[in-house]
Amino acid sequence: MKVVAFVPMYLPMMGGIEILTSSLAEPLRNKDIELVIATDSLTKLPHFETINEVDVHRFDFIHALNSGNAHYPLKVLSELSAMLNQLAPDVIHVHSSAAPHTWFVDRWLANHPEKPLLITQHGCLEAQEQLSSVKNIAQRAQHITAVSNAVASSFCEFVGELPVTVIPNGVKIPTVEPTDEGRTSPELRIIGIGRLKHQKGFALAIQALAQLKSLGIDCSLTLVGGGAELPAMQQLATELDVAVAFAGILDQQDTHRLLSRSSILVVPSRSREGFSLVAAEAAFLGIPSVVSDVGGLPETVIHNQTGLVFPAQEVSQLSQHLAALARDRDLLTRLGAGAQERARAAFNLQECADQYASIYERITHHI
């Protein structure tokens, strides 16, 4: 079976969808399912390459839609059609229905209504994402999945009460060995991982660090990732007179090494994230997370069992949770153990792959 998966971005970018789809490729291949990636083109990345035995096709989806040139989207649609007609996939799998690729997939499917379509919704729909193309493609889908109950509810609020299967993201178990460094270090080692943009809320973590310092708590903050907000965050750290280590963009292995030596992961998102893959990865390493209460984050991290949850954008509550973990290392240890135990049961990559494989089989045979 051949599946073309449409994703907003792909490797070498290291976001949640990129990591999930690349991780699923091997267990799906073991079931004789070939995963082919179709994604947006980015500067200096080739329009076709093979990454870890996965063929990756890149198209100018965003540029075409934003060009103001009525012919450009049609040109890209023609290129996409040629690729799909040549590959003749058994299934089209759209990850994130509000991404630019949806406009093109929807138009291709209009001429190929017999082609089975699976939609996986990864994020809660924001107001600017409530597009007619989302409703159109939702009506075409033979099956819809979501990575959390919050995402499923958000999607159905907009497109209507369609049946949605919730499949939490599976996680490839980090290959680095868990350590006790973060739990035993006198310093509370806080880490944040993700793109440095406003929605991720890392400025809140810097502000919380300043509050912890004012309480005399020995702590540090490391931020892994790059993005447009980097200069502003560096300036904020300077203004608040706190030392923040900006580690930049790291590969997955180096990120996991830093994570394994940390005490706590912070996910202070402002927007309605559907799932935190990095919190699930941290859980496998026995690292608990402090997350905001937006979207599916309280489903990824269970309050007072696998981490702590705080009201979004409430810096004082975030700093209180971090202070509690700094002062009560038994609590830190208990939450870490709870996170690790739940990760093995809830975020199993093979089980995730099995569920997708089962859906592919059902929709290709119209079961």
Nearest to 295 by CA among 123, 120, 99: 123
Q: What are phi and psi of 272, to 5 degrees?
A: -85, 75
Residue 294 pLDDT = 96
Compute, in degrees rounded to 10, the torsion defined by CA atoms 56, 62, 64, 68: -170
CATH code, residues 2-170+348-364: 3.40.50.2000
The number of CA neighbours under 13 Å toward the Cβ of 289 is: 31
The number of helices, as runs of H, and strands, as runs of E, in the chain is 15, 14
Residue 308 pLDDT = 99
CATH code, residues 181-346: 3.40.50.2000
Residue 132 pLDDT = 83
Q: What are phi and psi of 131, to 5 degrees?
A: -110, 155
Q: Decide if 283 contacts 323 (C-beta within 8 A).
A: no
DSSP H/E element including 292 = strand 289-292
The number of CA neighbours under 13 Å toward the Cβ of 304 is: 0
* 360's tokens: 């592919």
Residue 271 pLDDT = 86
Residue 129 pLDDT = 65
* 31's tokens: 């079931």
The Cα–Cα gap between 36 and 169 comes to: 19
Q: Decide if 5 contacts 21 (C-beta within 8 A).
A: yes
The Cα–Cα gap between 154 and 150 comes to: 6
Q: What's the pTM value of the predicted model, to 2 decimals?
A: 0.93
Domains 2-170+348-364 and 181-346 share a fold: yes
* 41's tokens: 């083109």
What are the residues whose beta carbons fall under 8 Å from the beta carbon of 77, sequence distance 6 or more?
Answer: 104, 107, 108
* 57's tokens: 């096709």
Residue 130 pLDDT = 66
Residue entry with tokens 């660090």: 209
Q: Decide if 191 contacts 160 (C-beta within 8 A).
A: no
β-pairing verdict for 54-59 and 48-51: antiparallel
Break the chain into its structural domains and give their ranges. Answer: 2-170+348-364, 181-346
The Cα–Cα gap between 287 and 263 comes to: 6
Residue 231 pLDDT = 97
Q: What are phi and psi of 80, to 5 degrees?
A: -65, -45
Amino acid letter for position 105? V
The CA distances from residue 123 to 52, 54, 178, 287, in Å, are 26, 24, 29, 24
Instruction: Count the Cβ atoms, other than its own, within 10 Å of residue 114.
Output: 5
The Cα–Cα gap between 349 and 22 comes to: 11
Question: Distance between alpha carbon 247 and the CA centroid of its chain, in Å?
Answer: 20
- List alpha helices for the chain, DSSP H: 16-29, 61-66, 71-87, 101-110, 132-140, 149-159, 181-184, 202-214, 230-239, 252-260, 277-284, 297-300, 315-327, 329-346, 349-364
What are the residues whose beta carbons fall under 8 Å from the beta carbon of 25, sequence distance 6 or more?
Answer: 35, 52, 53, 54
pLDDT in tens, the chain (367 residues): 999 999 999 998 888 899 999 999 999 999 999 999 999 997 789 999 999 999 999 999 999 999 999 999 999 999 999 999 999 999 999 999 999 999 999 999 999 999 999 999 999 987 766 678 899 999 999 999 999 999 999 999 989 889 999 999 999 999 998 898 999 999 999 999 999 999 999 999 999 999 999 999 999 999 999 999 999 999 999 999 998 999 999 998 999 999 999 999 999 999 889 999 999 999 999 999 999 999 999 999 999 999 999 999 999 999 999 999 999 999 999 999 999 999 999 999 999 999 999 999 999 986 5
